[in-house]
Amino acid sequence: MTPAEIKQRVRDRLDEDQDNSARYPDGLTQVYLLDGVRAYVLETGCQMATVTITQTANTLFYDLPCDCIQVQRVLWNSDSALKPLNATTTRDLDSTIYQWQHMADVRARSYFLLGLDKLALWPMSADGGEEYVVEYRRDVYTGLTVMPEQDHGLIIDYCIGRHQLTEGKAAEATMHLGIFAEGVKAARNRMANSDRMWQLNGKGL
């Protein structure tokens, strides 16, 4: 389905025959549509990317790509062998290590996030030069094209649920958003199926 088709089906199911409705504005439906696709991407992991960060001397924070919506893991590139870093938080570091902010080592052992803009590699490197691969989930800029067409109907339920929330129809909204959540869960399980991934990668029969 195209975005226009989805918005038309949303209007039909809400018994609205005007595409410029003040009750269900087209622009608001478009916002909900993209929100639904983002939620789908975040939960299923169907939009993944990597970025390589080179550690510089005595530097704790590094910029993350602007399309990052969730960091999955960070790996140290040790002569082409990727070794995962431990995820931590500033609270954990504060509670276990005195003046951790000033510590340095030959490479980082852990990482933590500052929002979705900054990644901290800890401890800092005294010399720099080490490389780390950040695996992350990407934001969506191409709309429905990132989703399998068989799941486009989920976005209809998501949009209807969001519109109903704005009208205070909690029970109806919960039903539609529940359908969306269950559909996304099924999609995540489907994508995680090893036999399916084998075939999608072109290695199956």
Question: How many residues are recorded in the chain?
Answer: 205
Supply the pLDDT for residue 194: 46
Whether 52 and 134 share a structural domain: yes
Same domain, residue pair 29 and 95: no
Residues 126 and 64 in one domain: yes
The mean pLDDT of 54-79, rounded to a whole number, is 93
CA atoms of 49 and 201, how far apart (whole Å) = 17
Count of domains observed in the chain? 2
Last residue of a domain, which of 138, 159, 184?
138
Are 26 and 62 found together in one domain?
no
* Whether 110 and 144 share a structural domain: no
- Quick one: pLDDT at residue 184? 96
Residue 130: which domain range?
48-138
d(Cα 154, Cα 43) in Å, to the nearest integer?
13
> Does 201 reside within a domain?
no
The answer to whether residue 30 sits within a structural domain is yes
pLDDT of residue 196: 45
Chain segment 97-151, per-residue pLDDT in tens = 888 988 999 999 999 999 889 999 999 999 999 999 999 988 877 678 888 999 9
Same domain, yes or no: 107 and 31: no
200 pLDDT higher than 50: no
Question: Is 89 inside any structural domain?
Answer: yes
- For residues 142 and 93, give the distance between their C-alpha atoms in angstroms, rounded to a whole number: 39
Mean pLDDT of the chain: 88
In terms of domains, do 39 and 61 share one?
A: no
Give a yes or no: residue 205 inside a domain: no
Task: Calculate the CA dihedral of residues 52, 55, 61, 67 and round it to 10 degrees.
Answer: -10
* pLDDT reading at 85 higher than 90: yes
Q: Evaluate if residue 18 carries a pLDDT over 80.
A: no
Q: Which residues contact 40 (CB under 8 A, 6 or more apart)?
A: 46, 147, 151, 154, 155, 184, 187
Select from 115, 138, 161 the last residue of a domain: 138
pLDDT of residue 156: 97
199 found inside a domain: no
Confirm whether 155 is domain-assigned.
yes
In a domain, 200, yes or no: no
**HSE on the CB side for 83, CA within 13 Å?**
11
Final residue in a domain of this structure, among 90, 123, 138:
138
Q: Judge whether 10 lies within some domain.
A: yes
Dist. CA 172–CA 175, nearest whole Å? 5
How many CB atoms sit inside 10 A of residue 4's CB?
10
For 35-52, what is the mean pLDDT? 89
Q: Is residue 117 domain-shared with residue 63, that is, in the same domain?
A: yes
Q: What is the pLDDT of residues 44-60, one digit of tens each?
A: 888 889 999 999 999 99
Instruction: Tell me: do 59 and 92 sit in the same domain.
Output: yes
pLDDT in tens, 159-190: 999 999 999 999 999 999 999 999 999 999 98
165 and 146 in a common domain: yes
d(CA 124, CA 146): 37
